[in-house]
């Protein structure tokens, strides 16, 4: 396993992180989830990412039980707050009330006294940004949160937060967690340049585009049974943007690129994200331990300029680049 600094902070994290969105407490039974976590640890992964909303808070509980008894100082545990975790009007968003109550719930479910990184899971247009940042800063000062980050924020939203933090003496954001893959590059034009300048690292999710970049979805063929595309619990909604024959044909044409490098298609996709120097880690999920072992082989892989150019030529105009695609709800959900 290779390790990278999280932005300009002093925190080192495994460049392959293990995430449990759409798996723990949902698609995967607890015994299988624990086996995947054990596999991640055996492969040298020390960084684990979750969120309070995943599987209706059950994902945090499963991860907490899977990590119980391990040396806490040897792990980096990340979670998030924003999406609804209960029926009340204040069980959502980035108000002070929800942030404080949210972290206490997450700590209880994870079975830990602190989280290494607490992330605003979306931008809250209904809460003053000063209120949100002060609540996060208070948690840092209390030792319940060590670092603060954001997920799926636009460049102008991150910039506003940094300005307020500097003016009010709050801890600065050290990380951004966006979707990023060969097919989804919306952060490259605005978010990445800002974050490089300000010392913020990317912890990217869906580096294999919900499984599309593994090549298992074939043009003109039925969707594989039991795959993300047939998951009625949320996975199918995310992946459907990629399920057209032109894009799937282009993805199949990446196989010779991977073969020439001795990589699986998943390894090639994950390694591609790690070529971006602003990326601190790529988050992988798994429903089986062998998937973890396969994905981890992307750590430390270097792709030369000719390979990157070849990938761009294969994918052509199927790549999504529009920064406006990063959108938070105009109102709390």
Q: pLDDT tens string for the chain (333 positions)? A: 999 999 999 999 999 999 988 665 555 678 888 899 999 999 999 999 999 999 899 999 999 999 999 999 999 999 999 999 999 999 999 999 999 999 999 999 999 999 999 999 999 999 999 999 999 999 999 999 999 999 999 999 999 999 999 999 999 999 999 999 999 999 999 999 999 999 999 999 999 998 999 998 888 777 766 555 556 555 556 677 888 999 999 999 999 999 999 999 999 999 999 999 999 999 999 888 999 999 999 999 999 999 999 999 999 999 999 999 999 999 999
Q: Report yes or no: 64 and 47 within 8 Å, Cβ to Cβ.
A: no
Distance CA 320, CA 89 (A): 35
Q: How many domains, the chain?
A: 1
Q: What is the structure's pLDDT at 239? A: 75
pLDDT for 236 equals 59
- Residue 241 is predicted with a pLDDT of 83
In a domain, 218, yes or no: yes
Residue-level pLDDT at 22: 66
| Residue 274, burial from CB neighbour count under 10 angstroms (0-12, 13-18, 19+) | buried
Residue 33: what pLDDT? 86
What is the domain range of residue 33? 3-325
- Two tokens at 253? 């044409």
- The CATH number given to whatever domain includes residue 308 is 3.20.20.100
Which one is catalytic: 54, 118, 147, 217?
54
Which pair of structure tokens corresponds to residue 27? Answer: 């698609």
HSE (CB half, 13 Å, CA atoms) of 5? 10
Please indicate, yes or no, if residue 158 is contained in any of the structural domains.
Answer: yes
Q: Is residue 331 part of a domain?
A: no
Q: Which two tokens stand for residue 269?
A: 């996709």
**Region at 90 (left for phi over 0; alpha for psi -120 to 50; beta for the rest):** alpha
Give dist(CA 133, CA 97) in Å, integer. 13
Could you confirm whether 54 is annotated as catalytic? yes
Q: What is the pLDDT of residue 24?
A: 54
Whether residue 81 lies inside any domain: the answer is: yes
In a domain, 333, yes or no: no
- H helix count then E strand count, the chain: 12, 10
Q: Is residue 27 part of a domain?
A: yes
Q: What's the whole-model pTM score? A: 0.92
Q: Is residue 163 part of a domain?
A: yes
Q: Where are the beta strands (DSSP E) in 153-200?
A: 173-177
Q: Tokens in use for 251?
A: 């993805």
Is 332 a domain residue? no
């Amino acid at each position: 396993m290779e390790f990278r600094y999280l932005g300009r902070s002093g925190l080192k994290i495994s460049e392959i992180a293990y995430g449990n969105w759409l798996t723990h407490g949902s698609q995967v039974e607890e015994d299988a989830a624990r086996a995947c976590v054990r596999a991640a640890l055996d492969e040298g992964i020390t960084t684990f990412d979750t969120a309070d909303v995943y599987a209706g808070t059950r994902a945090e509980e499963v991860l907490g039980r899977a990590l119980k008894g391990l040396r806490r100082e040897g792990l980096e545990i990340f979670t998030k707050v924003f999406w609804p975790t209960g029926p009340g009007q204040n069980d959502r968003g980035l108000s002070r009330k929800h942030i404080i109550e949210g972290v206490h719930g997450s700590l209880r479910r994870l079975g830990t006294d602190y989280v290494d990184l607490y992330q605003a899971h979306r931008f809250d247009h209904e809460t003053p940004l000063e209120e949100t940042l002060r609540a996060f800063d208070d948690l840092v000062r209390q030792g319940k949160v060590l670092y603060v980050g954001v997920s799926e924020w636009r460049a102008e939203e991150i910039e506003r937060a940094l300005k307020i933090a500097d003016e009010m003496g709050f801890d600065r954001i050290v990380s951004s967690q966006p979707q990023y893959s060969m097919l989804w590059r919306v952060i490259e034009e605005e978010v990445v340049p800002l974050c490089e300048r300000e010392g913020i690292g990317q912890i990217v999710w869906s580096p294999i585009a919900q499984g599309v970049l593994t090549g298992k979805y074939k043009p003109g063929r039925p969707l594989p049974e039991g795959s993300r595309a047939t998951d009625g619990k949320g996975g199918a909604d995310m992946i459907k943007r990629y399920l057209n024959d032109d894009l799937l044909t282009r993805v199949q044409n990446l196989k010779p690129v991977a073969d020439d490098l001795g990589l699986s298609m998943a390894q090639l996709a994950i390694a591609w994200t790690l070529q971006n120097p602003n990326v601190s880690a790529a988050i992988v999920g798994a429903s089986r331990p062998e998937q973890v072992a396969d994905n981890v082989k992307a750590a430390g892989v270097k792709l030369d300029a000719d390979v990157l150019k070849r990938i761009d030529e294969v994918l052509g105009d199927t790549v999504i680049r529009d920064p406006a695609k990063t959108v938070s709800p105009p109102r709390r959900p």
